Amino acid sequence: NLKQYDKALADYTRAIELNPEYADAFYNTACAYAFQNNVEAALSPLRRALELDPEKILASIPTDSDFDLIRNHPDFIALLDEFSSQQQTS
């Protein structure tokens, strides 16, 4: 909310160092990059968050305005489609 993305990213990086299985830290990292309209940087941590907790993360994304700037990007859509398909076959 304060738009201090560099500080937020540093905090999320530290959280990931402390707990590399913490999906929310990866998710929030992706959000911070999405706020900066940096699709490429957002996709890797979002992928990791989806790997760690696909059900929760997939449920959060459609209503999360943090992703509005990148929501229509083909790579973002492809990533969500990939994990949605995996969830449906599980």
- Which pair of tokens denotes residue 58? 């997939």
Mean pLDDT of 20-47: 97
Q: Is 37 helix (H, G, I), strand (E, B) or coil?
A: coil
How far apart (Å, rounded) are the C-alpha atoms in residues 46 and 29? Answer: 8
Whether residue 1 is predicted with pLDDT greater than 70 in this model: the reply is no
Whether residue 46 is predicted with pLDDT greater than 90 in this model: the reply is yes
- Which pair of tokens denotes residue 4? 């201090």
Per the listing, tokens 């449920």 go with: 59
Q: What is the pTM of this model?
A: 0.92
How far apart (Å, rounded) are the C-alpha atoms in residues 67 and 35? Answer: 7
* pLDDT value of residue 2: 64
Q: Is 57 helix (H, G, I), strand (E, B) or coil?
A: helix
